Structure 1
């Protein structure tokens, strides 16, 4: 199992109300998390693309952000989690161009994840006439298979679809070297995992909350991917899942940090905006918040395998549970309200004590797939 981190430009009001430049500081701190993750042996960093989602995510121009980090890092792969390829948000040709350019700037370290937006508040900003959020699925389906053609055909043969069109044109630049960056899809339901697998796409599993959820994820995906008809140059057989991690020298200190970091606020914001997600009964309607996390609740969340918290030995044992459940990659969401130095410490401790005991392959899984396709 490989390891990653996930950043999104989290700027909660409880921070910005007391810190005039909170937005700037948050964005700059999250670049430092990625730089430290690179030094600590993490193989992937993922970057959201969200629009209009006040507090929850101010990372809208993630292509610019990733471009900066291609020069600030050396080994870590940098992934769009996501680039939104719906024509009303980003024209597909411009997305293809950005992907290829980042492939060059990063020296083949870019990972191309796509999705359909975070919910009605975001989607309706660009598509005000939409009445059914599922309509974006048809647009994404029409578009996703065109990207490999734009990269691999000397002159793209053009496209005439229901939602966008383009005459024959050379789409430039082409990806660097053989084939193209690995392709991923942000999936939230069993049918979406299976659909991604059939297309040969890796899955960005932002909806997996605990280890026991992995069973249906892996079953639906790994079964379907055996019969994949890849839309690109190769099959990216990969399930990435996200969780929260807080690691300190002692379990007591990690639990204390978790209980004092307003973790309930980010979880409440998630369901404020992701209104296409199934809402568990215990999640209140915004602006009502989930209760503040106590140390007792944090311990319960650890026992339920909903969060990774503790000393390095605790973290190692908890990560091994994800590995045993079948995750190909475990990615830690870093912007959870935990203080900057404590977040850097989590990254360093995981890099020192956890990653070397689980991820012993020096080569990225996606690199192996891409190189095999190029021969």
Structure 2
């Protein structure tokens, strides 16, 4: 099982006691970059960063195509993933996406992971003129198979419902053949199965326990055996985001979870991401969930829904994800109000003491799929 950090750009009011929103935004961005550089030195294999627009406080990372090469220039081994690039044509023209992906592949020497999605908020979609959220499903289906052609053909053209292009050579072409690994964000059984049939890796943002996730992983792993990939190869991967804090003192880690600001983050999630079903007990904005109590934190940890505690505790929790077939677990310590130094301590300790117990393969799983596809085509 492999491990990645997830960078979301959570910038709540008064972050780290800063009254100036612009200063808080700036400090958060710099913190995310520093954590990526640290992860690169401490056995983490992936660093993912989101793309969101207009979602005040929840996520201030909109131009991740700028952030990704900035981090790429400061790292050597870690793979850098778009979690996601929004590929709906009103938000990002597909040819521009294909160009960015190939350029990132060159500049990172093959370390870029192409995560895709269609946006999960009418705030975002309507901001770019998409009035019907259901249209984004058709947009995604029209676009996702075109990247393979853009990266391989010198005379590419397309006439579709949502975008069209006269004959053009989309440049550059990917550096490491055939092309970067392809992923899609998913959260429900239908999307897991669809992703598998398309041969796409899954970026899963579920908030449940491994037991809750197990049926979705099973659906994916069953369906991917008969994949008809939209790319040149199958990326058989399930990556799931989990709450996370690894410290030498397990009681201190649990106490910090009470002060994480996670419930405010969840309230913002359901304020904006209105294509997600609202769970019972989550109030409508501007009402927010109350801060988590220590009892609630302890219960979530006991249910293995959070990877929290000392290295031994974290390892035990992760064995549950391993048992259900997860290929990658993503940790998002910056989706909290914790001080930067605490995140540094946790990322470093986890990378040095936990990851080596679960990931002994020096090669990235996605690199192996890509390498084998290139060999088969030669």
TM-score above 0.5, yes or no: yes
Separation in 2, partners of 1:311, 1:81: 28
- Offset at residue 210 of structure 1 (A): 1.7
Specify the alignment match of 1:67 in structure 2.
69
Which structure 2 residues correspond to residues 109-124 of structure 1 after superposition, within 5 A?
109-124=111-126
Q: SS of the counterpart of 2:240?
A: strand
Q: Distance in 2 between matches of 1:73 and 1:284?
A: 41
Q: Identify the residue that residue 83 of structure 2 maps to in structure 1.
A: 81
Distance 1:338 1:272 in 2: 22
Q: Is the 8 A contact 1:70 1:106 kept in 2?
A: yes
Gaps of 5+ in 2: none
For residues 209 and 33 of structure 1, the distance between their equivalents in structure 2, rounded to whole angstroms, comes to 25
Match of 1:42 among 31, 41, 44: 44
In the TM superposition, residue 14 of structure 1 has moved relative to its aligned partner by 3.2
The Cα shift of 1:118 comes to: 2.2
Other-structure match for 2:193: 194
Deviation at 1:60, TM superposition (A): 0.4
Question: 3-state SS of the aligned residue for 2:301?
Answer: helix
TM-score (norm 1): 0.97
The yes-or-no answer on 1:361 pairing with 2:361 is: yes
Q: For residues 147 and 17 of structure 1, do their structure 2 counterparts lie closer, same or farther at Cα, with a shift above 3 Å needed?
A: same
Indicate conservation of the 8 Å contact 1:246/1:309, yes or no.
yes
Q: Give the structure-2-normalised TM-score.
A: 0.96
The alpha-carbon distance between structure 1 residues 177 and 342, as it changes in their structure 2 partners (threshold 3 A), is: same
In 2, distance between residues paired with 1:224 and 1:261?
37
1:97 equivalent in structure 2: 99
Q: Which 5+ residue runs of structure 1 have no aligned equivalent? A: none
Q: Report the number of matched residues.
A: 372
Q: CA deviation at 1:264?
A: 1.2
Q: Give the structure 2 partner of residue 24 of structure 1.
A: 26
Q: Distance in 1 between matches of 2:170 and 2:149?
A: 10
CA offset at residue 208 of structure 1?
4.8
5 Å matches for 1:328-339? Answer: 328-335=327-334, 336-339=336-339
Contact 1:214-1:326 within 8 A present in 2 as well = no
> RMSD of aligned C-alpha atoms?
1.2
Query: 2: CA distance between counterparts of 1:208 and 1:185?
Result: 17
Does 304-313 or 176-185 show the bigger shift? 304-313
